[in-house]
Structure 1
């Protein structure tokens, strides 16, 4: 059943680090079946505090999403994203197959 990785950027801190992340992150996707569904496009906050943007990636399974996130290639990119801003990130299963 598909799973989704959702990143919510709450606050940018260092644009240089975010730029490094944007250059390295695609390499981390190599060999993983990820489908970008939303990438920091237009949004409207309906509840809670404002955000700066969000991204949603679809993976075939929860385990594949975990494998991508914890892969050495993505972990190399991740350190730059975490230095560059405050984020929330989650992996969530879909309802399909329930």
Structure 2
């Protein structure tokens, strides 16, 4: 069953750190092969807190999503995200495809 990692950027504090995060996060995808479904495109908040953008990555399953998130390369990238912005990040199970 697929799993999705959803990242919503709520507020940027340091654009330079966020840029470093972007570079390192892109490199951290190597070997994990996530499928980007949404990547900071146009959006509209219908309910809840405002945000600056969102990213949705599809993985084959929860274990693959966790393996990417917990990988040393992504953990290194994540440090820059923490310094550059506030995000909400979660993994959610998808539904069985027909």
Question: TM-score interval w.r.t. the shorter chain?
Answer: over 0.9
- 1:53 matched to which residue of 2? 53
- 1:13 matched to which residue of 2? 13
Runs of 4+ in 1 over 4 A off after TM superposition: none
**TM-score (norm: length of structure 2):** 0.96
Kept in 2, the 8 Å contact 1:33–1:60? The answer is: no
- 1:62 matched to which residue of 2? 62
Unaligned runs of 5+ in 1: none
1:2 aligns with 2:5: no
Unaligned runs of 5+ in 2: none
Kept in 2, the 8 Å contact 1:38–1:55? The answer is: yes
**TM-score (norm: length of structure 1):** 0.96
Per-residue Cα deviation, 1:51-92 (whole angstroms, up to 9, x for no partner): 111100000010000000000011111110111000000000
CA RMSD of the aligned region, Å?
0.8
- 1:29 matched to which residue of 2? 29
Q: CA deviation at 1:26?
A: 1.3
Q: CA deviation at 1:96?
A: 1.2
Q: Number of paired residues? A: 97
Cα distance in 1 for residues equivalent to 2:7 and 2:95: 19
